[in-house]
């Protein structure tokens, strides 16, 4: 007997339900506000975002969780469904990448240059890949992460930058007088560009509007920033789970703050600049 629906799962934001035929499991395109229930855990919530392999649901109390997009993993009005990412609309003009550049159709990744871009951590690398991944593959630029800016002098020394081997570095919280700015001054050279954004963490480079919040909360000194943010927002998520939701809410460069956009574009230009041989 089909499971009875309740008022929440009948929310008008869910849109028109697509019921599967008897014996079949329907595919339901994801859309923000669509209300789903997980088939195994019974968690019921509205879709707030998704990425290649996961979807984020928010229940009526504001709790959010991330689930895999597995076959028949959800219920819609009590019937099993497979949630899928919506089909992309056909382009009506020049195809744009997530960074806003004109995408090169059918382009294959170039053989990697010797030049590199380093970012501070895995979250930074994932965000750069999501927005600038197409551009970087076309240019043949690899992105690696430092696991902390304290390692930068050793990495620069081992990398041995030169005219055809440039190093670009994106640093969090690069403000005058900070530890990060002092380390940047130690390693800068004509073949090393260290630049950065003023945010405490790369999370802050995502516009609050992309996440449906008014602003990033202030976190008192001495409190781990990510944990403090989640506590202030009333979230019970672990930082890794919260990041998947944040990253899934970023669709293009318009969801990021200009202070990050300009710095990443500057680094790409720096490491791809042609080498000029002086007479």
Last residue of a domain, one of 29, 63, 84: 84
In this structure, is residue 164 part of a structural domain? yes
In the predicted structure, residue 20 carries a pLDDT above the cut 50: no
**What is the average per-residue pLDDT within 259-268?**
93
pLDDT of res. 175: 84
Q: 174 and 122, same structural domain?
A: yes
pLDDT of res. 80: 92
Q: 195 and 132, same structural domain?
A: yes
**Which CATH number do you get for residue 64?**
2.30.30
pLDDT of res. 136: 87
In the predicted structure, residue 13 carries a pLDDT above the cut 80: no
**What is the average per-residue pLDDT within 197-224?**
92
pLDDT of res. 97: 66
Percent of the chain with pLDDT over 90: 37
In the predicted structure, residue 237 carries a pLDDT above the cut 70: yes
Q: 257 and 191, same structural domain?
A: yes
In this structure, is residue 238 part of a structural domain? no
For helices 152-159 and 179-187, angle between their N-to-C axes, nearest 10 degrees: 20
In this structure, is residue 174 part of a structural domain? yes
In this structure, is residue 22 part of a structural domain? yes
In this structure, is residue 79 part of a structural domain? yes
Higher pLDDT, 111 or 253: 253
User: Token pair of 256, please?
Assistant: 């990021």
Q: 31 and 148, same structural domain?
A: no
pLDDT of res. 103: 56
Q: 138 and 268, same structural domain?
A: yes
How many domains are there within the chain?
2
Q: 264 and 159, same structural domain?
A: yes
In this structure, is residue 213 part of a structural domain? no
In the predicted structure, residue 226 carries a pLDDT above the cut 90: yes
Residue of 201, 173, 169, 199 lying closest to 187 (CA atoms): 169
Last residue of a domain, one of 84, 107, 137: 84
Q: How far apart are CA 79 and CA 95, in angstroms?
A: 38
Residue of 12, 51, 13, 17 lying closest to 32 (CA atoms): 13
Give residue-wise pLDDT tens across range 127-182. 999 899 888 888 888 888 887 788 889 999 999 999 889 999 998 888 888 888 89
Q: 259 and 138, same structural domain?
A: yes
**What is the average per-residue pLDDT within 65-93?**
83
Q: Which of 72-76, 184-188, 190-194, 273-277 has the lowest mean pLDDT?
A: 273-277
In this structure, is residue 168 part of a structural domain? yes
pLDDT, averaged across the chain: 82
pLDDT of res. 99: 64
Q: How far apart are CA 182 and CA 277, in angstroms?
A: 32
**What is the average per-residue pLDDT within 49-70?**
85
Confidence of residue 205 (pLDDT cuts 50, 70, 90): very high
Distances (CA, A) of 230 to 2, 44, 251: 37, 21, 22
Q: 202 and 126, same structural domain?
A: yes
pLDDT of res. 11: 36
**Which CATH number do you get for residue 128?**
3.40.50
In this structure, is residue 63 part of a structural domain? yes
Confidence of residue 41 (pLDDT cuts 50, 70, 90): confident
Query: For strand 35-38 and strand 26-29, is the pairing parallel, antiparallel, or unpaired?
Result: unpaired
pLDDT of res. 54: 87
Domain that holds residue 185: 116-206+250-272
Q: How far apart are CA 176 and CA 178, in angstroms?
A: 6
């Amino acid at each position: 007997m089909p499971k009875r629906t309740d008022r929440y799962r009948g929310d008008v934001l869910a849109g028109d339900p697509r019921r599967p035929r008897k014996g079949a499991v329907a595919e339901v395109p994801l859309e923000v506000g669509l209300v789903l229930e997980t088939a195994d855990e019974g968690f019921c919530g509205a879709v707030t975002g998704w990425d290649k392999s996961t979807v984020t649901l928010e229940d009526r109390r504001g709790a959010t969780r991330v689930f895999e997009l597995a076959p028949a993993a959800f219920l819609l009005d009590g019937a099993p469904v497979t949630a899928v990412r919506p089909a992309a609309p056909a382009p009506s003009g020049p195809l744009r990448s997530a960074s806003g550049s004109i995408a090169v159709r059918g382009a294959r990744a170039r053989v990697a240059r010797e030049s590199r871009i380093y970012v501070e951590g895995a979250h930074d690398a994932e965000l750069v890949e999501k927005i600038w991944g197409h551009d970087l593959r076309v240019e043949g630029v690899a992105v690696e992460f430092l696991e902390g800016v304290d390692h930068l002098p050793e990495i620069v020394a081992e990398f041995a930058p030169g005219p055809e081997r440039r190093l670009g570095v994106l640093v969090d919280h690069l403000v005058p007088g900070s530890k990060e700015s002092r380390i940047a001054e130690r390693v800068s050279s004509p073949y090393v560009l260290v630049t950065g954004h003023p945010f405490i963490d790369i999370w802050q480079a995502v516009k609050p509007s992309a996440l449906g919040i008014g602003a990033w909360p202030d976190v008192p000194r001495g409190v781990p920033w990510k944990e403090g943010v989640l506590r202030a927002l009333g979230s019970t998520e672990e930082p890794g789970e919260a990041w998947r939701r944040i990253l899934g809410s970023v669709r293009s460069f318009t969801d990021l703050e200009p202070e990050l956009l300009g710095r990443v574009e500057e680094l790409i230009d720096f490491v791809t600049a042609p080498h000029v041989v002086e007479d």
